[in-house]
């Protein structure tokens, strides 16, 4: 089969498509003919060996993918060959076939576009978990989303609106701000142009914000944290800006503020079995809710770029170089639809 194989941790630019043997079917696993896989900011970290988890080498990157089940191990009874499903397995998706344990496989609504399903199950699930489970965002609260036109950012804008919040988007550039507004933000701040804290004061008429959704870190973290109202919650999603912020604990104390970390990987459960058992029902319920909102037309996952498997490096570059909005998808067992 064709696959992108990482033989040693390093630069993703060194990866290319190669011919390799399909993985063997293991106990409790299913074999999936992969249709499309997600490109994410974190893929470069997995390949570099600098993600929280290091797969055994050699490994096929691609942690989330949609495809059709073609074989089930005798003890894997949740699914049947022929079912079109989503898998969230940590790695394995940038290949024509993947073998994954069945508890990392989820049903998807019939006929749903693969890119939309991937976006909903990754970025939207992250936004859902961070805002519902961690921040406990309430209707009428003000939500600030940083990097609001990025994958998880745009999802947080839409989930925030569905939950009844007033959403303020912060993004780099007028075009990204416009995209965030088109997806439900009521106000937008171009943080490349001005002082983020002053702009938050302006758009909230000096009130401040209740919840921050923060995939960026760096200087934006500080400005957003200092803009929280008493009792506010700042949810840390990632450090796309490159630097890990230090938290001034005095601000937390004085304003009764909580800084919360949210890592969807703990809910997906491809890494830690006892956590999977604990979180699996919540995760499956969250997927059902997210797919239902999508079916009702309340979520509009934006897949901005689609690449064939052979152009993986270009696809990953688009994300790393900040040229993407919404989700970038890799087509595996299909012809290119244009990038
Ligand atoms: N905690 C979790 O469970 C979880 C789940 C998914 C993703 N994440 C993390 O969340 C972050 C964003 O992921 P994503 O999929 O939304 O990525 P993405 O689509 O590439 O969006 C990242 C955005 O971050 C902003 N950014 C600010 N400084 C940047 C820099 N120096 N380089 C690149 N981008 C920069 C950019 O928006 P502007 O140009 O508007 O600033 C960019 O669009 C990543 O760190 C990822 O690992 C965490």
Looking at residue 312, which CATH number applies to its domain? 3.90.180.10
Nearest CA to ligand 1 atom 22: 150
Q: Is residue 39 part of a domain?
A: yes
pLDDT at 273: 56
**Burial class of residue 244, CB neighbours in 10 A (0-12, 13-18, 19+):** exposed
pLDDT at 131: 98
Q: What is the mean pLDDT of residues 69-73?
A: 97
Average predicted confidence (pLDDT) for the chain: 93
User: With contact defined as beta carbons under 8 Å apart, do 144 and 187 qualify?
Assistant: no
pLDDT at 338: 40
Domain boundary among 233, 263, 293: 263
pLDDT at 336: 47
- Confidence band of 339 (pLDDT split at 50, 70, 90): very low
Q: Which atom of ligand 1 is nearest to the CA of 148?
A: 40
* Ligand 1 site-directed mutation target among 42, 133, 150, most atoms within 8 Å of CB: 150
pLDDT at 337: 44
Please give the tally of structural domains in the chain: 2
Q: Which residues pair with 78 in a beta bridge?
A: none
Higher pLDDT, 35 or 271: 35
Q: Which atom of ligand 1 is nearest to the CA of 240?
A: 45
Tell whether 244 and 145 lie within a shared domain.
Answer: yes
Nearest CA to ligand 1 atom 38: 172
d(CA 69, CA 50): 31
> Mind listing the pLDDT tens digit for each residue in 219-274?
899 999 999 999 999 999 999 988 899 999 999 999 999 999 999 988 886 655 55
Say whether pLDDT at 105 is over 90. yes
Which residues form ligand 1's pocket by a CB distance below 6 Å? 40-42, 126, 147, 149-153, 171-172, 176, 215-216, 237-242, 262-264, 319, 322, 324
Q: Is residue 237 part of a domain?
A: yes
Q: Is residue 276 part of a domain?
A: no
Nearest CA to ligand 1 atom 13: 41
151 Cα–ligand 1 center, Å: 7
- Rounded to the nearest 5 degrees, what angle is found at the Cα of 183, between the Cα atoms of 308 and 176? 70
> Mind listing the pLDDT tens digit for each residue in 161-215?
999 999 999 999 999 999 999 999 999 999 999 899 999 999 999 999 999 999 9
317 Cα–ligand 1 center, Å: 13
DSSP string, 80-97: -TT-EEEEE-SS--SBSE
CA distances from 284 to 45, 225, 278, 330 (A): 26, 32, 12, 24
Tell whether 185 and 77 lie within a shared domain.
Answer: no
Range of the domain at 35: 2-107+302-331
Q: Is residue 116 part of a domain?
A: no
Q: Which atom of ligand 1 is nearest to the CA of 326?
A: 19
User: With contact defined as beta carbons under 8 Å apart, do 32 and 69 qualify?
Assistant: yes
262 Cα–ligand 1 center, Å: 14
Q: Is residue 273 part of a domain?
A: no
Tell whether 45 and 148 lie within a shared domain.
Answer: no
Tell whether 101 and 179 lie within a shared domain.
Answer: no
Tell whether 81 and 190 lie within a shared domain.
Answer: no
pLDDT at 261: 96
> Mind listing the pLDDT tens digit for each residue in 120-138?
999 999 999 999 999 999 9
d(CA 339, CA 329): 9
Tell whether 147 and 249 lie within a shared domain.
Answer: yes
* Ligand 1 site-directed mutation target among 12, 238, 242, 269, most atoms within 8 Å of CB: 238
13 Cα–ligand 1 center, Å: 19
Tell whether 142 and 82 lie within a shared domain.
Answer: no
Domain boundary among 242, 263, 284: 263
């Amino acid at each position: 089969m064709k696959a992108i194989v990482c033989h040693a941790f390093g630069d993703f630019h060194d990866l290319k498509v190669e011919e390799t043997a399909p993985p063997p079917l293991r106990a409790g696993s299913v074999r999936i003919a992969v249709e499309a896989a997600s490109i994410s900011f974190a893929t470069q970290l997995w390949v570099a060996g600098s993600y929280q988890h290091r797969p055994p080498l050699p490994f096929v990157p691609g942690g989330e993918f949609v495809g059709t089940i073609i074989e089930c191990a005798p003890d894997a009874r949740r699914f049947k060959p022929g079912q079109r499903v989503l898998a969230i397995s940590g790695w394995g998706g940038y290949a024509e076939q993947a073998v994954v344990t069945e508890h990392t496989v989820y049903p998807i609504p019939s006929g749903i576009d693969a890119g939309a399903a991937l976006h909903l199950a990754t970025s939207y699930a992250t936004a859902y978990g961070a805002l519902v489970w961690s921040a406990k965002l309430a209707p009428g609260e003000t939500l600030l989303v940083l990097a609001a036109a990025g994958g998880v950012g745009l999802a947080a804008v839409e989930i925030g609106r569905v939950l009844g919040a007033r959403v303020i988007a912060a993004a780099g550039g007028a075009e990204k701000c416009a995209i965030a507004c088109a997806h439900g933000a009521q106000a937008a701040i171009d943080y490349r142009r001005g002082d983020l804290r002053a702009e938050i004061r302006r758009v909230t008429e000096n009130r401040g914000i209740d919840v921050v959704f923060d995939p960026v870190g760096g200087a934006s973290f500080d400005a957003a944290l200092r803009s929280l109202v008493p009792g506010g919650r700042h949810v840390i999603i990632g450090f796309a800006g490159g630097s890990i912020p230090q938290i001034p604990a005095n601000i937390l104390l004085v304003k009764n503020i909580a800084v919360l970390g949210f890592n969807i990987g703990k809910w997906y459960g491809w890494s830690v079995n006892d956590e999977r058992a604990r979180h699996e029902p919540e995760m499956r319920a969250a997927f059902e809710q997210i797919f239902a909102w999508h079916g009702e037309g309340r979520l509009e996952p934006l897949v901005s770029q689609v690449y064939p498997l052979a152009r993986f490096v270009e696809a990953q570059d688009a994300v790393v170089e900040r040229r993407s909005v919404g989700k970038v998808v890799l087509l595996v067992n299909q012809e290119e639809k244009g990038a």
